[in-house]
Chains A and B, each alone.
Chain A
Amino acid sequence: MSTAATADASSSGDTTEGSVRLLTLQSEDGEVFEVKETIATQSVTIKGMVDDDCATSTIPVCNVTGRTLAMVIEWWNKHEIGAVSNEKELKEWESQFDTIDDKSDRDDVYDLLMAANYLNIPTLLDCCTSAVAEAIKGKSTDEMREFFDIKSDFDEKEEDALRKENQWAFEN
């Protein structure tokens, strides 16, 4: 997974570039990004703020680091209408996000998932949830716990009871 800061930090507030309004987003760790309104409104959350006229000053993006926000902006840029000539090219570009090979990929996807959820970006949310689903597929319970660092708080008896309750799912 790559990061690319596509916007420069500059003065906050409501600025324009040509006829397109620029929005200023600030990550949790203080990085500031200027993004075209037409692009940032791929986020349903931001679109709501723009529609309600609440996007005139710097918009704080809580729980999202500058590194992740840069990835989100890269996502928006690629998904802007007309940015990529065809659907196939877009899918190829997206494929860097849709598989999780190791725990470092996994953590990037977590970061993007949380950002996509907070900012409500349906396309990104779809891509990341499907990446996690792919990683779950074909793993046994123990493998899943290991890969996702999930610690069980069931004792053996409780777990056995659960398995029995949903027996069919555990056969084969």
Chain B
Amino acid sequence: MALEKLGKKDIISRLSDDVLIHILSRLQTKDAVRTCVLSSRWRNLWTLIYNFYFDDGEDDPFGRCPNFEKFVSGVLSVCQSKDVHNFYLDCTMISDDEISHVIPWISFAVERKVRNLNLKVDMDRAGVWLVRLPQSILTCSSLVELTMLSDCIFDIPDSSVVCFPSLKIIFMSIRSPDGNLMKKLFRNCPILEDLSIHGSNLKNKDELTFDINVPTLKMFRIWLGMEYYVSKHKYVITARDLECLHIKDFTSSNFLVNDSPFLDVASLDVHEMPGAIDEMDELEVNRAMELLRGINCTKSLSLTAYTMEFLSLAIKDNMPTFPIMIDLELGIKASFGWKLLPHFLSSSPNLESLTLEMNHRVECALQGFLPFESKSVPSCLRLHLKVIEITDMRGICGELEVIKYLLKNSEVLEKLEVNFASSMKKKYLRRQILNYYRGSPTCEIKFI
């Protein structure tokens, strides 16, 4: 339809092809295709889209569409874009007959210079089936970001060939991974910066060592869970330029961080298996402490209450020193949190900011309560600590005593911020805290 024939108010159809293609490329491909019937102006516009989002509708309340394979193949056969930006393929319900088409679809994306490839092809109920990716993906120079939400296999040659020349970001979800293949994959990515691994219920029976040796890596996140069990697997992280490390692990896995990287941020949420302490050998009990030892050169550290619980099993006089740590955030359960806090304070000579997140989810059993005891005043309190934040305070299990101690001994403190869990006792607690002696005369106290 010529533009002058358009309705007066039909401004959208007058927008340039470029703009309309941007708009259509932001839609699920199915929705983009549906615009073809709007008017003749729109009929072929969708064939120029540069992003593809195919979802076979597993989550669709109407159930999965039977013609998914036909649709994807049909769309790709008329697609005119030579530069594909994003290619998402989510076909968790794909049938055995259709599976042979998946490889040509991925090959299509690779040929059209895909930058961001996101695959979830996960149809085998037993979790045995693996996606074998086309060989062309190894040399794909446009690919920057790769997300694999199902176990994928590549045929990476043994010789040290450079693969994935432009790949910077990998997100992978693993269920029955091949440790050897993963090692080869990471080793062969020359500029990989950001790696996330998500593993749940790893099915491998053998003990695996995941060798994550990536000299260019800056960001590493790993999430292992959900079921609590003591994992046999070992994760060895060798990345001297690492800046950020986030570990969330419900499986008491064995982590080893080599080379003491200088980190900006590290956060740990590692759980011991509840009640399994008797079944754990000494090495397993020490796992959280060993991990902490590997990341002691971090500017900022965040540990959940569960991590503190795990650490408390192994604490003797073996706390590592944190020479450059400025920010520390600790989850505190009174039964062991106060026991660990003095160790952290005396091991962090340059600490400037301390956040204590009270965790009362399990009511503090008084017999398990370990009071805060500190023999000598740690130097960070006298020289560096400027900000203390306490969240979810209830005024029980030694909270007030700790605040009293910190206020008295923090000589350069600028601010104490207290966030109460409820308004009960709030007035009383405020009055108590305001009455405490302050080692730093300029300290401001804020209640929220």
Contacts and interface: CB of A to CB of B under 8 A. Distances in A.
A128 B70 CA distance: 33
Contacts, number: 98
B425 interface: no
Contact of A129 (B23, B62, B68, B74): B23
Interface stretch (A7-15, A37-45, A150-158): A150-158
B115 to A, nearest CB: 16
Nearest to A114: B15
Interface in B218-251: none
Interface string B31-59: 10111111110110000000000000100
A117 B40 CA distance: 23
Interface residues of A, number: 33
A159 interface: yes
B39 A153 contact: yes
Interface stretch (B2-10, B90-98, B277-285, B405-413): B2-10
Interface in B67-82: 67-68, 70-71, 74
* Interface secondary structure of A, over-half rule: helix
B361 to A, nearest CB: 28
B26 interface: yes
A132 B37 CA distance: 18
A154 B65 contact: no
15 contacts: A117-B18, A132-B12, A132-B23, A136-B35, A137-B28, A145-B38, A150-B7, A150-B38, A151-B6, A152-B37, A153-B39, A166-B33, A168-B65, A169-B31, A169-B33
Interface of B: 1, 5-7, 9-13, 15-16, 18-19, 22-24, 26-28, 30-31, 33-40, 42-43, 57, 60, 62, 65, 67-68, 70-71, 74
Interface of A: 107, 110, 113-114, 117, 125-126, 129-130, 132-133, 136-137, 141, 144-145, 148-154, 159, 162-163, 166-172
Interchain residue pairs A-B with the least CB separation, the first 4 = A168-B71, A133-B26, A149-B9, A169-B33
